[in-house]
Structure 1
């Protein structure tokens, strides 16, 4: 029976997993990871659905929808990668193929050397999944009963189960929720419960779909810290889909952007902002109504409503200098920074590529 202070793994196994992590590779366009270094490997993967649409009385039109179109990328063991894109881009379809729920229409896909579609049960013991709005918990049972069932399903050694459960319960603040039926949990509480459930069996790879949805600011920070610690201690490979760029900024050194089933960008988040020429917004509340703030270029005032003003500045630039200048020269009451809308950034990238 394996026991460890860090998620039930032996020190040798943990060290070998962490040592496989790698940073974001450099390059131009879509960046690849060196062949042979991948824990997750996709090569020309496609997924096509046949959709039937009613066009009249007893008449249906059949058309083919290409949800994933020649997708190729590699994720090294131990990486934390953000996988983002607008709704309908193909993110969930990709995750479902990686977990074996869907079978690719073409191309090659491997996770830890396993074909998910052919050996789904074998792979299930090595992966954890949190599917956003779809829970893996038993709806009418208390939370602790779901964990006990997973203990039996995954055949987790008792000592390892207790250790992992205790840590999840403590760090995700689940102690008061263990005897509450899942249907009575709020969305944020259930998301924390789902994350714990996905980690009880020490998965080597973790797929997260909107893991901080429904969480308040404090809970988001704790979940992010929890995931960072998990990755650092256990070398768990994490593929994260989210619309919250702060999740990406605080957790991932690498981000992939998918749109219309195609990989549009693979690299650092800063490079994404530069590629999409995105802007952040500084919202400033002054003591009284004043003329537009004289902001240093490239920042500029884009909107004024009474004492409130909105200033746009490049997303790749720091807000510190701009905030310091405004605070020194204007009667400041409050301010906040709004992150760019990732969908607008991707839409701009897509439009530019289509027009090229």
Structure 2
């Protein structure tokens, strides 16, 4: 990938400000072989990332979401230097990830929810000590960072436990601590709460908010859990089929996709469909009822009204999944194309 002199000048100028991540027309193609007949194959190019452009300022907490196969992980791998872009321009902390990977590793932290960077048979603290030497972290700074992670991620009782004996939630907290030992400027989180229980998710989200507030760490979060985005991020980008289809706040995403949250009610006895302003009854099964309401609206007024007028035993709120939000976005786009 080559740059003209004027392109280099423009890129340097753009990075002299507060932009810590800069993507301009980023592309990634893979060659895929497909069987066409007995012992015959054809090769075709599949574009996983198709001309994505965006910038992330220092200290931003950004959600990067989309359905499976949309190109999220491919983008993260290019941002970390694991993959080399096919086209476009890319800089992270002023560095070219593919060409300056070693220098970049000292300035970024990465957590993949499905994989661990910890040594499986070693106690957690031994993994941390090894990483301190790998990153050449000064002892004083290492101890300060470790103490903060141990306190905020509640790792004190886990430090001397072999990683293989940790639960998924415990290991995830351990992985996040490991990614922060060298005090990175940018933290990439790929599905950090996948498979975690409610309490473990809450700990991780609280820690990320504190990290950003206290250290100013830039966070790029990929997830299928919209609650992660709501509680952690101030900005959300949606990618689908390798293209950026939304960049803004979560309220704008919900409005664009006309998404709904679901209020699941357990009444003390079987009753006709609950009727409250701002919600519609979707389903009734005995004493359990499902009410849909706009995702951008607060559930509190609905809950208060229902609790006052109906014999409520229990309730829960279910968030819309990413796939349904994007499906509605594209359905609206197709309808608009047909009518225009």
Q: TM-score, normalised by structure 1?
A: 0.87
User: Match of 1:177, SS?
Assistant: coil
Deviations 1:27-57 (A, max 9, x none): xxxxxx9995411000000000001123333
Residue 69 in structure 1 maps to residue 40 in structure 2: no
Residue 112 in structure 1 maps to residue 93 in structure 2: yes
CA contact (8 A) 2:225 2:321 kept: no
User: Match of 2:264, SS?
Assistant: strand
Between the aligned partners of 1:149 and 1:319, the Cα distance in structure 2 is 47
CA contact (8 A) 1:191 1:213 kept: no
What's 2:293 paired with?
A: 313
What's 1:353 paired with?
A: 333
Moved more, 272-281 or 135-144: 135-144
Deviations 1:228-279 (A, max 9, x none): 1111111111000111111111111110001001000000101110000000
CA displacement at 1:348 relative to structure 2? 1.6
Q: Which has the higher contact order (CA 8 A, sep 6+)?
A: 1
Between the aligned partners of 1:282 and 1:290, the Cα distance in structure 2 is 16
Deviations 1:102-127 (A, max 9, x none): 00000000011111011000010000
User: Match of 1:201, SS?
Assistant: coil
CA contact (8 A) 1:280 1:337 kept: yes
User: Match of 1:227, SS?
Assistant: helix
Residue 41 in structure 1 maps to residue 22 in structure 2: yes
Between the aligned partners of 2:138 and 2:205, the Cα distance in structure 1 is 27
Deviations 1:107-161 (A, max 9, x none): 0000111110110000100000001101111222221111111110100000111
CA contact (8 A) 1:37 1:76 kept: yes
CA contact (8 A) 1:52 1:61 kept: yes
Between the aligned partners of 1:35 and 1:90, the Cα distance in structure 2 is 28
Q: TM-score, normalised by structure 2?
A: 0.91
344 and 35 in structure 1: CA distance in 2 versus 1, 3 angstrom threshold:
farther
User: Match of 1:129, SS?
Assistant: strand
Residue 234 in structure 1 maps to residue 215 in structure 2: yes
Count of aligned pairs between the two proteins:
323
5 Å-filtered alignment, 1:295-310, equals 295-296=276-277, 298-310=278-290
What's 1:101 paired with?
A: 82
279 and 168 in structure 1: CA distance in 2 versus 1, 3 angstrom threshold:
same
CA displacement at 1:92 relative to structure 2? 0.4
User: Match of 2:119, SS?
Assistant: coil
What's 1:80 paired with?
A: 61
What's 1:155 paired with?
A: 136
CA contact (8 A) 2:269 2:287 kept: yes
User: Any gaps of 5 or more consecutive residues in structure 1?
Assistant: 1-32
What's 1:29 paired with?
A: none
What's 1:14 paired with?
A: none
User: Match of 2:99, SS?
Assistant: coil
User: Any gaps of 5 or more consecutive residues in structure 2?
Assistant: 1-13
What's 1:4 paired with?
A: none
CA RMSD of aligned residues (A): 1.6
183 and 34 in structure 1: CA distance in 2 versus 1, 3 angstrom threshold:
closer
2:119 paired residue among 138, 142, 167: 138
What's 2:147 paired with?
A: 166
